[in-house]
Amino acid sequence: MKLGFIGCGNMGTAMIGGILKKGTLKKEDIIVSHLTEAGAERSRKLLGVAVTLDNREVVKSASVIVLAVKPQFYEEVIGQVKEFFTPEHLIIGIAPGKTMSWLEEQCGQPLRIARFMPNTPAKVGEGMTGMCVNERMSDEDIRIVKELADSFGRTEIVPERLMDAVVAVSGSSPAFVFMFIEAMADAAVAQGMPRKQAYSFAAQAVLGSARLVLETGLHPGELKDMVCSPAGTTIEGVRVLEKAGMRSAVFEALTSCAEKGKRM
Ligand SMILES: NC(=O)c1ccc[n+]([C@@H]2O[C@H](COP(=O)([O-])OP(=O)(O)OC[C@H]3O[C@@H](n4cnc5c(N)ncnc54)[C@H](OP(=O)(O)O)[C@@H]3O)[C@@H](O)[C@H]2O)c1
């Protein structure tokens, strides 16, 4: 199987990095396109895959095509390549709001289409990808595309109506987690900890907490209660976060993300 990426920025690089690291495909099996020579040079250096500035070249030489440009450029790049799509092609969209029926309509013919909503932790093999497929995808097609997504983290197949929720809860949320880590580290720096060390402490605390949720299956509230000794330090922090409306802020932020995704 030959895999092609139209556009290869943050997300494309993270996905291909995972695919190569896991050995799902070899460098020779992957081709990516760029808008600029600078981008092309970056992919040559970072990934070592075949690179072109001609999007049509990607479609002509690969059978699985990932549309990895920003959502506002989807229409333009599909317009450039659609005459080269054949029934052998399998198309994967990764943009919020670009539904499978919209993609098929833009491509102008019945095609096997999947949508991934990955996230940047894919870069270190810890991605979370929501995936949905259209009715033309066979079980074998689904196996092939899921194997790709599994190369850079966990994958769950969801109905398309949940893709906007996925955009919020795992596509965008790493940005909020990074803000949280940065804020925690700032506080540690204010207490005198060197900055680099503060990032390690904060990030490992987030990583370990996430693993506790995933590996114990315990309710996050129960895990929180286990940290809060009576009259201790943690419950003081909980009081401050509740007063500042932390839960509500997170709830509203993710709702805004999902709503924005629906409008794209
Ligand atoms: N970033 C995330 O966390 C995330 C998460 C989930 C989904 N996504 C989705 O992933 C997609 C890509 O996002 P990104 O963050 O990777 O964007 P990005 O870093 O800006 O990368 C966009 C890539 O598209 C290329 N490009 C732009 N116009 C092109 C054209 N006409 N022909 C060919 N290539 C073109 C750029 O080429 P140059 O390198 O030459 O400039 C660049 O490599 C978006 O649809 C986004 O919604 C992103």
Phi/psi zone of residue 48: left (φ > 0), alpha (ψ -120 to 50 degrees), beta? left
For the record, the structure tokens of 58 come out as 């990607």
116 DSSP β-pair partners: 131
User: Which string of DSSP letters, residue by residue, matches 151-198?
Assistant: TTEEEEE--GGGHHHHIIIIIIHHHHHHHHHHHHHHHHHHTT--HHHH
Do residues 152 and 171 both lie within one domain?
no
**CB 11 near ligand 1, within 6 Å:** yes
Do residues 110 and 177 both lie within one domain?
no
Res 224: pLDDT: 98
Residue nearest to atom 39 of ligand 1 (CA): 39
Is residue 128 a contact partner of residue 153, using CB atoms and an 8 Å limit?
A: yes
Do residues 86 and 56 both lie within one domain?
yes
* pLDDT tens digits for range 129-185: 999 999 999 999 999 999 999 999 999 999 999 999 999 999 999 999 999 999 999
**CB 191 near ligand 1, within 6 Å:** no
Do residues 139 and 104 both lie within one domain?
yes
Query: What one-character DSSP code corresponds to residue 120?
Result: G
Give the residue among 24, 29, 12 at the shortest CA–CA distance from 66. Answer: 12
**CB 120 near ligand 1, within 6 Å:** yes
Do residues 143 and 172 both lie within one domain?
no
Query: Which CATH number fits the domain that encloses residue 177?
Result: 1.10.3730.10
Res 103: pLDDT: 98
**CB 171 near ligand 1, within 6 Å:** yes
> What range defines the domain where residue 205 resides?
166-263
Is residue 129 a contact partner of residue 66, using CB atoms and an 8 Å limit?
A: no
Helical axes 10-22 vs 37-46, angle rounded to 10°: 20
Testing ligand 1's pocket by substitution, the residue of 16, 32, 35 carrying the most ligand atoms inside 8 A of its CB is: 35
For the record, the structure tokens of 239 come out as 């009081």
Give the residue among 6, 62, 53, 55 at the shortest CA–CA distance from 29. Answer: 62
Among the candidates 121, 137, 158, a domain finishes at 158
pLDDT below 50 — which residues of the chain?
none
What is the count of structural domains for the chain?
Answer: 2
Q: How far is the CA of 38 from the centre of ligand 1 (A)?
A: 14
Q: How far is the CA of 78 from the centre of ligand 1 (A)?
A: 14
What distance in Å separates the CA atoms of residue 75 and residue 77, rounded to the nearest whole number? 6
As a whole number of Å, the CA-based R_g of the chain is 21
Res 104: pLDDT: 97
**CB 4 near ligand 1, within 6 Å:** no
Among the candidates 133, 158, 183, a domain finishes at 158
**CB 50 near ligand 1, within 6 Å:** no
Q: What are phi and psi of 97, to 5 degrees?
A: 80, -15
Query: Which CATH number fits the domain that encloses residue 121?
Result: 3.40.50.720
**CB 6 near ligand 1, within 6 Å:** yes
Among the candidates 118, 137, 158, a domain finishes at 158
Q: What are phi and psi of 64, to 5 degrees?
A: -110, 120
Q: How far is the CA of 133 from the centre of ligand 1 (A)?
A: 21
Res 5: pLDDT: 98
**CB 203 near ligand 1, within 6 Å:** no
* pLDDT tens digits for range 229-250: 999 999 999 999 999 999 999 9
Res 178: pLDDT: 98
Q: How far is the CA of 212 from the centre of ligand 1 (A)?
A: 33
